[in-house]
């Protein structure tokens, strides 16, 4: 996934995504000056941010 895909999927701005990269919140790869993200990493991030309802 590229930055635009991630921003759309997470409903965040490019600046927020940059902040997540700087803080190490979301793993990424940089190829030719463009950032890429694994779908599995995005799924893991979303799972970690999901609040579970206690029974």
**Residue 14 maps to a domain:** yes
Q: How far is 20 from 7, CA to CA, in rounded Å?
A: 11
pLDDT of residue 21: 96
Which residues constitute the domain of residue 12?
A: 3-49
Q: Is residue 40 part of a domain?
A: yes
Q: pTM value? A: 0.82
CA–CA distance, 55 with 44 (Å, rounded to integer): 23
Predicted confidence at residue 53, as pLDDT, reads: 79
54 domain-assigned: no
Helix (H) or strand (E) holding 21: helix 14-23
Please give the helix or strand (H or E) that residue 53 lies within, else none: none
Chain centroid to Cα 48, Å, comes to 12
pLDDT for the residue 49: 87
User: Which residue ranges of the chain lie beneath pLDDT 50?
Assistant: none
pLDDT for the residue numbered 55: 67
């Amino acid at each position: 996934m590229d930055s635009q895909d991630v921003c759309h999927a997470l409903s965040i701005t490019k600046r927020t995504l940059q902040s997540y990269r700087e803080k190490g919140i979301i793993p990424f790869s940089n190829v030719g000056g463009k950032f890429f993200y694994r779908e599995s990493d995005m799924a893991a991030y979303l799972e970690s941010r999901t609040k579970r309802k206690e029974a």
